[in-house]
Amino acid sequence: MSQDQQKQRAAAAALEYIQPGTIIGVGTGSTVNFFIDALAGMPSRIAGAVSSSEASSRRLAGHGIPVLDLNSVAGLEVYVDGADEATRGMHLIKGGGAALTREKIVAAAARTFVCIVDEAKLVERLGKFPLPVEVIPMARAYVARELARLGGQPVWRQGTVTDNGCDILDVRGLDIVDPVGLERAINQIPGVVTNGLFAQRGADVLVIGTDAGVQTLRPSGH
């Protein structure tokens, strides 16, 4: 089975968390694209979606699913998004698609974050995937020096401008033993909009598409 088929499996399984008639949060990326397409096929539709990127908004609208402003909704029951890396402890690296800031905002506004991934995304420790950091353009070089002081090797993702008009630094070489602490430390650097560690608020449910079927993980004790 291909990686795309695993993504599609995870995306289809996430429909079980969606109540018809509700407003949900929708993330960004190829796995989420499968989810949006699956949503469009639900016999009873959702009322609308708050989207984490212009790309997802276009895809949702293309299926006739109303796209709503986060400011116009009181809160979200569910947010569905992919990840670049995920641990069994529900910590994530996200932002491969440069949508990390809006993704973090919509995830924060949701009661339940359902993360959908193919099995290659599951890791013992985060950090092999370069950690995306969104930065205000004028602060890019300064932030890069500070990230190097934290032990990383930042590389400017040239040619990418985020939906917020900002730059992305991809930080290689991080062996992330304390995801919560590192997420906090990077966010303290002036000029950082946010970073792709989702550890302070990780996933609540991890839905993994595998060749054998779908595996669902929840934090221990839940």
Contact region with ligand 5RP (CB under 6 A), list: 25-33, 137-145, 169-177, 202-210: 25-33
Q: Is 103 a catalytic residue?
A: yes
Neighbours of 212 (CB within 10 A): 8
Site string for ligand 5RP, 72-91 (x = CB under 6 A): ---------xxxx-------
CB closer to ligand 5RP, 99 vs 176: 99
For residue 66, the minimal CB distance to ligand 5RP (Å) is: 22
Please say which residue, 99 or 205, places its beta carbon nearer to ligand 5RP.
Answer: 99
Confirm or reject binding of residue 27 to ligand 5RP (CB under 6 A).
yes
Q: How many C-beta atoms lie closer than 10 Å to residue 175's C-beta?
A: 10
* Nearer to ligand 5RP (CB atom), residue 96 or residue 179: 96
Largest CA distance in the chain: 53
Which stretch of DSSP H or E encloses residue 26?
Answer: strand 23-26
In the complex, least distance from residue 74 CB atom to ligand 5RP, rounded to whole angstroms: 25
Q: In Å, how far are 8, 100, 213 from 90, measured between CA atoms?
A: 20, 16, 20
Amino acid at 209: G
Does residue 215 belong to the site contacting ligand 5RP (CB under 6 A)? no
Q: Does 204 bind ligand 5RP (CB under 6 A)?
A: no
Distance between CA atoms of residues 32 and 118, nearest Å: 12
Cα gap 197→190, rounded to integer Å? 17
Nearer to ligand 5RP, 27 or 152 (CB): 27
Binding residues with ligand 5RP: total (CB under 6 A): 17
Nearest distance, CB of residue 96 and ligand 5RP, angstroms: 3
Rounded distance between C-alpha atoms, residue 57 and residue 13, angstroms: 21
Q: How far is the CB of 32 from ligand 5RP (least distance, A)?
A: 6
Rounded to an integer, what distance in angstroms lies between the CA atom of residue 56 and that of residue 92? 20
- Inter-residue contact 6 to 209 (CB < 8 Å): yes
Spot the catalytic one: 16, 54, 85, 103: 103
Residue 168 CB burial class (10 angstroms; 0-12, 13-18, ≥19) = buried
Instruction: Show the binding pattern over residues 92-131: x = contacts ligand 5RP (CB under 6 A), - = does not.
Output: --xxxxxxx--x----------------------------
Active site residues: 103
Q: Given the rule CB under 6 A, which residues bind ligand 5RP?
A: 27-31, 81-84, 94-100, 103
